[in-house]
Structure 1
Amino acid sequence: MAPPCVFLLFGLLNRTRVYGRWRVPHARNTLVLSNHQSMIDSFPIAYYLFFPEKMFRPHLAPWNAAAAENFFKNPLFAWVFHQFKCIPVRRGRRDLRAMIRSARALRAGTITLFPEGTRSRDGKVGRGRAGAGMVILQTRPQVVPITLEGLDRVLPIGSRLPRIGQRVSIYVGRPVPYEDLAAEGRSRASAQRIVDRVMERIAFQQRLLGRLARR
């Protein structure tokens, strides 16, 4: 989705507010981890966190994981979504190829991942999967926790067209330290504990957004 379209949808037709944008490191090997509310979550993240800087520093344009069965059904679609910096991921199983590609892209730039693996049905932050933690253990990036609120109202599950007049919030947290957990070794258990720590931060930020909305 081009920047003008993102601004039209989120800046004009819906009300979007970003908290803490200055906390995002504009450097290579930056991993953005976010809760997952809709099929269009990656667009406001890429726009509000990295535009216009990514126009002059291409490594800031984040790669995104995308369900292989939805976006890579044929070679033409695969090529198109690769141009949009999408990495195919097979759902429901450990995808080593996707983790290797993610680690390679992360070392060279920025990636956005949604550790929950699927969209929330009730808006609450769920438990993340260990895959993102394995990427962290392999590349040791700066890990930035992002909390989205209101995207599930802009494009609810089952809807094809986005709604307007909604309020969207994006909260950018401070990078999450994980060196103590990484010191335990490169194991799936360590990876899961790292992801659990990040998801706890994302859930805490969701509660902060709730308080800000009541003001």
Structure 2
Amino acid sequence: MWYFLFKYVLMGPALRAMGRPRIEGHDNIPSDGAALIASNHLAVVDSFYLPLMARRRIYFLAKSEYFTAPGLKGKFQKWFFSSSGQIPIDRSGASAAAGALSAGRRVLDGGGLLCLYPEGTRSPDGRLYKGKTGLARMALETGSPVIPVAMVGTDRINPPGTILPRPTRITLKVGEPLDFSRYEGMAGNRFIERAVTDEIMYALMRLSGQQYVDIYAAKLKNDDGSYTKAEDIMGPDQPAA
């Protein structure tokens, strides 16, 4: 109930006024049945605009810290993320990947629509970064199709260093589902999972028009929350694609 209240009453009208969102290729999202959505990740509001524009309910995997903060603020945060379709996962420790896979499979086994961000974190500079293989493994183990979705413009609503949102135009581009049934039975093979991940990232690059950088975005984040430039890690002889 809260999910649809957020979408149509409590948050939806404000989000529409602020972002004037439009969606292209919505028919590529199946009307029923299990499917994975692979999206680029530019801003926190990605997880708001995608459910807003899709007719089906979408589930997300969210870090467990969103659900365990202390105090009144922590309780409100836990209620909000739970009500809006976020599923907590522990991203630390050796069992983190297995926990995420298990949580995702429960959604897919129930015929749900699950969205993952293969970059693993938000892009620090608007470019598209190397994808992690967890989504590929989930697709191979469940046989679910992967639907690439490019978010365009969400990073301009609330750029780093700003407080008030900046009205802009947001576009969601939904690509044709990617079928990886040719790799049936090969889940767990790291070379196959990397090939599947790279195919997904290529589809996202074409949809979004972003420049691709062949390193993990998480490697750029410093302990103080600042970011190192990708070029400082890659070196001048390894330009982005």
Q: What band does the TM-score fall into relative to the shorter chain?
A: 0.7 to 0.9
1:185 and 1:114 map into 2 onto residues whose CA distance is 19
Shift of 1:138: 1.8
Question: Retained in 1: the 8 A contact 2:39–2:151?
Answer: yes
Change (3 A) 1:186 1:29: same
Q: Structure 2 counterpart of 1:73, which letter?
A: A
Equivalent residue number for residue 82 of structure 1: 82
Q: TM-score, normalised by structure 2?
A: 0.73
Equivalent residue number for residue 35 of structure 1: 40
1:179 and 1:43 map into 2 onto residues whose CA distance is 31
2:158 and 2:138 map into 1 onto residues whose CA distance is 29
Equivalent residue number for residue 130 of structure 1: 133
Which one has the largest radius of gyration?
A: 2
SS of equivalent to 1:13: helix
2:136 and 2:189 map into 1 onto residues whose CA distance is 9
Change (3 A) 1:28 1:73: farther
Question: Retained in 2: the 8 A contact 1:178–1:194?
Answer: yes
Change (3 A) 1:9 1:83: closer
1:167 and 1:79 map into 2 onto residues whose CA distance is 30
In structure 2, list runs of 5 or more residues that go unmatched. 1-5, 211-241
1:158 and 1:104 map into 2 onto residues whose CA distance is 38
What's the Cα RMSD here?
2.3
CA shift digits 1:68-119 (9 cap, x unpaired): 2244335844455223221223346643112101111122111111111111
Q: Structure 2 counterpart of 1:36, which letter?
A: H
2:186 and 2:61 map into 1 onto residues whose CA distance is 27
Q: 1:139 is matched with which residue: 142, 147, 153? A: 142
Which one scores higher on RCO, CA 8 angstroms, separation ≥ 6?
1
Q: 2:178 is matched with which residue: 173, 176, 179? A: 176
Moved more, 127-136 or 8-17: 8-17
Question: Size of the alignment, in residue pairs?
Answer: 198
SS of equivalent to 1:36: coil
SS of equivalent to 2:38: strand
Q: Does 1:24 align with 2:29?
A: yes
Q: Structure 2 counterpart of 1:176, which letter?
A: L
Moved more, 168-177 or 154-163: 154-163
Change (3 A) 1:92 1:123: farther
Give identity over the alignment, percent. 27
Q: Does 1:162 align with 2:165?
A: yes
Q: Structure 2 counterpart of 1:89, which letter?
A: I
SS of equivalent to 2:129: coil
